[in-house]
């Protein structure tokens, strides 16, 4: 994954986290992603896996596609 795409994805995920009112530590704990690994993902240092995105989407209560850059907002 390219650096620009990695940062766009990280921004979408962090924005969804903020919008859902889920703290960083809650997201880490509930998704099973260690704080260090989650920090690297949200800082754009590491690539998200599909499993990471699914776990995060489940915690945030959003469709995984809503975490992708350029996705239309979910109106549900």
Query: How many domains, the chain?
Result: 1
Q: What does the longest C-alpha to C-alpha distance in the chain come to?
A: 32
Domain that holds residue 40: 3-62
User: Which percentage of the chain shows pLDDT scores above 70?
Assistant: 91
User: Is position 17 within any domain?
Assistant: yes
Mean pLDDT of the chain: 92
User: Is position 51 within any domain?
Assistant: yes
H-helix or E-strand spanning residue 16 = helix 3-20
Distance CA(50)–CA(47), nearest Å, equals 10
User: Is position 69 within any domain?
Assistant: no
Average pLDDT over residues 18-42: 97
Whether 66 and 15 have beta carbons less than 8 Å apart is answered as: no
pLDDT-derived band at 71 (thresholds 50, 70, 90) equals low
User: Is position 12 within any domain?
Assistant: yes
Whether 12 and 71 have beta carbons less than 8 Å apart is answered as: yes
Average pLDDT over residues 31-56: 96
CATH number at residue 47: 1.10.260.40
């Amino acid at each position: 994954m390219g650096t620009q795409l990695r940062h766009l994805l990280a921004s979408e995920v962090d924005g969804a986290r903020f919008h859902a009112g889920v703290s960083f530590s809650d997201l880490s704990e509930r998704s099973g992603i260690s704080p260090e690994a989650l920090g690297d993902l949200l800082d754009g240092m590491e690539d998200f896996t599909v499993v990471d995105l699914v776990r995060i989407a489940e915690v945030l209560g959003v469709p995984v596609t809503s975490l992708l850059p350029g996705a239309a907002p979910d109106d549900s």
